[in-house]
Structure 1
Amino acid sequence: MGEATCALPSAHPLARDRGGGGARRPPDGLISELKLAVPWGHIAAKAWGSHQSPPVLCLHGWLDNANSFDRIIPLLPKDFYYVAMDFGGHGLSSHYSPGFPYDHQNFVSEVRRVAAALKWNRFSLLGHSFGGTVGGMFSCIFPEMVDKLVLLESSPFILESNELENMLTYKRSAIEHMLQVEASEKPSHVVSPEEMLQGFLKNNSHVGDECAKLLLQRGTTQVATGLLLNRDRRITRPEYYFNFISRELFVHSIRKLQARVLLIK
């Protein structure tokens, strides 16, 4: 556990060229890539700062990866140890085993597994979008482990009366979708780096070229004929995997929080 690995080759076609013959310079302050063992494979992560400093676990958004934090970590205080993980099925982390479904609570369990692997008893959480929802749920289930919770464009839980009415439909759709993908023999789609970039920008109009390349560096693998997306094909619409909760459960859960909370919208 905690084994340092070289996760991204400098020859990746979407690597940023900052001189030196096209070699990719690691983000400022990046110490190491981590590979943490779990029963279905490994959880990949990357770390900045000294492991002697107070720890902060960074949780990315849906279909994103740990590179989401490459630009913000260098701007934050240097006296913390930042670890950004890839959720299962995202980035460089292993996909869940066939037949094992992706579920909101499973991602919360991944946070607990990472904390155990790193021997963290108490730490801060920084979560963006879906990562904030996972971090919020973790902070209510394990309140004694989280001292600060920072939510970037997120909420600790998903509370939507309209979505609650459709909850069973979403659950059914998620199961059917998983079975369809597992039964499909369709090979992964290989595209050129430029086609991959333009497709990403088309589907994420709020993201600029530089950020798109950052996410695709960790979110794709180079093969002889182009690039493959790393993420599990079973993961598509996020509403299939959220846990929508009632107002009563929301209030009860929030009261369990011990962490100081910062919400940035």
Structure 2
Amino acid sequence: MKVRLCLSGLISELKLAVPWGHIAAKAWGTLKGSPVLCLHGWLDNANSFDTLIPLLPQDLHYVAMDFGGHGLSSHYSPGVPYYFQNFVNEIRRVVAALKWNRFSIMGHSFGGAVAGMFSCTFPEMVDKLILLDVSPFALDFHVRSWAFMHAEVENLLTYKRRAIEHMLQVEASQKPLHVVSPEEMLQRFLENHSHVSEKCGELLLQRGTTKVPTGLVLNRDRRMTLPELSFDFVSEEWFVHFIRKLQAHVLLVKAIHGYFNVRRENDANKEPFLYMTRILKSTLKERFQFVEVPGTHYVHMNEPQLVAGIISSFLQSKPRLPNQL
């Protein structure tokens, strides 16, 4: 683990060794504080938390990692796909390297879904789970009709096929890296990320690009495109079963103008999200807290002051033991 202390505040850069290279991360706070792992969204990076963490309690220890193929982390080896379970595995490797046995997780968007799966797979390790504009799982919500269920299965098979074919196409293309000017890079980024402010777009591109003599190139692995190609969708039955495994206290912060559906084309349908919150409340009871805030999908970056107080109170609260509930 390589650590570089920066002069601009209490921030460290880390490189954690993994079999395919390294996972990059950055840290805030004090090493003696309770640990909080921060997970960014799809195609974002650890800078996703730069505006929020300075507003949170500084007696805690925050580590924001770049998922493999994102930010400053190594790309997966040739031929290895970016499957959902791989990202769950990355968390386990990172906390093992950091020697964390019990910690909290804060995840935005795709990072929140990965955090949800990890928290159910290793429930004894996660003390608190903070979900920023995301469900803990990508829910395949359907009515009880065979025709609809058949269509959902075909959707999942289509996503899996597209993911494999896309990876093969990118590996076979051998196209050179696309170099553009900083101005064009930012313009394209903002066109594809309508919920991100210009200031926050610049922040994400700081860690998400590399300077070359003629401009900038994106750091992310070109084998990754839409997040739905790497999500593991779960049924209602699986969702209920997984939630019952959770031992963590859960805070879900929902942006009023954020996203409700991974597939985006059906984003107006809020029924799956409402179903999910009902299950979380009925299953976790006092261990579940739901808060809506004004803003878009990137409210934690664009307007961190709207969520900082909520998250701070949750992190500083002392959870009651199960027999006290």
TM-score (norm 1): 0.90
Q: Which runs of 5+ in 2 are unaligned?
A: 143-151, 255-325
Alignment pair present for 1:262 and 2:280: no
Q: 2:294: which partner in 1? A: none
Which structure has more helix as a fraction of its residues? 2
Query: Once the two structures are superposed, what CA deviation does each residue of 1:122-162 show, in whole Å capped at 9, x if it has no partner?
Result: 00000000000000000000000000000000111111246
Specify the code of the residue in structure 1 equivalent to 2:45.
N
Counterpart residue number, 2:230:
241
Whole-angstrom distance in 1 between the partners of 2:4 and 2:180 = 26
Give matches, 1:147-166, under 5 Å.
147-161=127-141, 163-166=152-155
- 1:100 paired to 2:80: yes
**Aligned-partner Cα distance in 1 for 2:194–2:235:** 32
Match of residue 28 from structure 2: 48
Query: Does structure 2 retain, via aligned residues, the 8 Å contact 1:164–1:244?
Result: no
2:190 equivalent in structure 1: 201
**What CA distance in whole angstroms lies between the structure 2 residues aligned with 1:96 and 1:45?**
16
199-208 or 160-169, which moves further after superposition? 160-169
Provide the rounded CA distance (Å) in 2 between the counterparts of 1:154 and 1:161: 15
Q: In the comparison of the two structures, how many residue pairs are matched?
A: 245
Corresponding residue to 1:128 among 99, 102, 108: 108
Tell me the alpha carbon deviations over residues 46-75 of structure 1, each in whole angstroms, 9 at most, x when there is no partner. 000111110000000000000000000000
Code of the aligned partner of 1:217: Q
Query: 1 or 2 for the larger relative contact order (CA 8 Å, sep ≥6)?
Result: 1
CA 1:54–1:164: 2 relative to 1, 3 Å: farther
Identical amino acids, percent of aligned pairs: 73
User: Deviations for 1:194-224, whole angstroms, at most 9, x for unmatched residues?
Assistant: 0101111111122111100000000000001
**SS of residue paired to 1:166:** helix
1:181 maps onto 2:170 in alignment = yes
The equivalent position to 2:17 in structure 1, one of 33, 37, 43, is 37
**Pairing 1:87–2:67 present:** yes
Change (3 A) 1:214 1:152: same
The separation in 2 between residues aligned to 1:150 and 1:193, in whole angstroms, is 33
1:167 alignment counterpart: 156
1:29: how far off? 3.4
Structure 2 residue matching 1:36: 3-state secondary structure? strand
C-alpha deviations, 1:17-56, integer Å up to 9, x for none?
xxxxxxxx74x532x1000000000000000011111000
Q: Distance in 2 between matches of 1:6 and 1:239?
A: 36
What does residue 3 of structure 2 align with?
A: 4
- Distance in 2 (CA, whole Å) between partners of 1:5 and 1:39 is 22
Instruction: Give the RMSD, CA atoms, in angstroms.
Output: 1.4
In structure 2, the residue corresponding to 1:255 is in which secondary structure?
helix
Q: Deviations over 1:85-113 (max 9, x none)?
A: 00000000000000011011100000000
Question: SS at 1:91's partner residue?
Answer: coil
SS at 1:189's partner residue? Answer: coil
- 2:53 maps to which of 64, 73, 82: 73
Alpha carbons 1:128, 1:154 under 8 Å: kept: yes
**Matches of 1:117 and 1:182, distance apart in 2:** 31
Letter in 2 for 1:123: F
Q: Secondary structure at the match of 2:245?
A: coil
Pick from 122, 125, 128: which aligns with 1:142? 122
Q: Aligned partners of 2:190, 2:155: CA distance in 1, in Å?
A: 30
